[in-house]
Amino acid sequence: MSTAFPENLRLQLRQTGVIAVLMIDRAEDAVPLARALLAGGVNGIELTLRTDAALESLRRIRAEVPEMTVGVGTILTPKQANEAKEAGASFGVAPGMNPRVVAEAIRIGLPFAPGVCTPTDIEIAIEAGCRVLKFFPSEPCGGLSYLRSIMAPFMHLGVQFIPLGGVGAGNAAHYLREPAVLALGGSWLAPKDIVAKGGWDVITALAREATDIVKEVRS
Ligand SMILES: O=C(O)C(=O)C[C@H](O)[C@H](O)COP(=O)(O)O
């Protein structure tokens, strides 16, 4: 069965180290926001389907900021997996592990990382063909020490994790030192109030801070 996450995409996300989780209300903000993140060295984005502007934002970023690797988050249904793929998503992410969504993502060739936070979730995700898993919500679940405990029985299968939820500049290095962590994600790189004001320089500064942490830990 497919591992659902190609090696070249894993390498891209590992190199990026941080994925900016975006909840975009206005598609007009998508391109300047992506450019601001890229200027700070962040070239991975997860656009959540929590807002109606997400797919249009994806199309615009794909067309105008092709250097950016853009995934879609909050994929809760097989239909949304199809919509994300059609709009050009490089990967899909969900808060939980829904076997129907994973099966559809594999069927249509959308690399997919379902959300897990228990050993049972991990077993189900592995059986469904996944090897890259979103650990969500990371900090409320117990953070890295909890992740290390639950991942231990599965590491011989080559599983990698993307922790999200409560991750930020203050604890990013801690997570990035763990070899099983492929990349981190979080909304801290693009606070909604800053995006609403068009504070692109602030976003670039936040992205640069994150990029510096990745470089320090991983180089
Ligand atoms: O809805 C989804 O599919 C998500 O991806 C949820 C986000 O990953 C978290 O909300 C990010 O958590 P914070 O960085 O603590 O804001």
Over residues 47-81, the pLDDT tens digits come to 999 999 999 999 999 999 999 999 999 999 999 99
Residue nearest to atom 8 of ligand 1 (CA): 164
Quick one: tokens of 30? 């998508």
131 in the Ramachandran plot: left (φ > 0), alpha (ψ -120 to 50) or beta? alpha
How high is the mean pLDDT of the chain?
A: 96
**Which of 18, 97, 187, 195 is the pocket-test mutation for ligand 1 (most atoms within 8 Å of CB)?**
187
pTM for the structure as a whole: 0.96
Measured from the CB, is residue 150 less than 6 Å from ligand 1? Answer: no
Residue pair 174/147 in contact (Cβ under 8 Å)? The answer is no
Residue nearest to atom 2 of ligand 1 (CA): 74
SS (H, E, C) 138-205: HHHHCHHHHHHHHHHHHHHHCCEEEEECCCCCCCHHHHHCCCCECCEEEHHHCCHHHHHCCCHHHHHH
Is the confidence at residue 3, as pLDDT, over 70? no
Is the confidence at residue 4, as pLDDT, over 90? no
**Which of 164, 171, 193 is the pocket-test mutation for ligand 1 (most atoms within 8 Å of CB)?**
164
Fold of 7-214: TIM Barrel (3.20.20)
Is the confidence at residue 119, as pLDDT, over 80? yes
Would residue 46 show up in a list of annotated catalytic residues for this protein? yes
Residue pair 17/187 in contact (Cβ under 8 Å)? The answer is no
Q: Which of 46, 178, 192, 216 is catalytic?
A: 46
Over residues 146-188, the pLDDT tens digits come to 999 999 999 999 999 999 999 999 999 999 999 999 999 999 9
| Omega within 30 of 0 (cis) for the link into 140 | no
Residue pair 141/133 in contact (Cβ under 8 Å)? The answer is no
Q: What are phi and psi of 132, to 5 degrees?
A: -110, 120
Would residue 85 show up in a list of annotated catalytic residues for this protein? no
Residue 1: the pLDDT is 44
d(CA 149, CA 172): 19
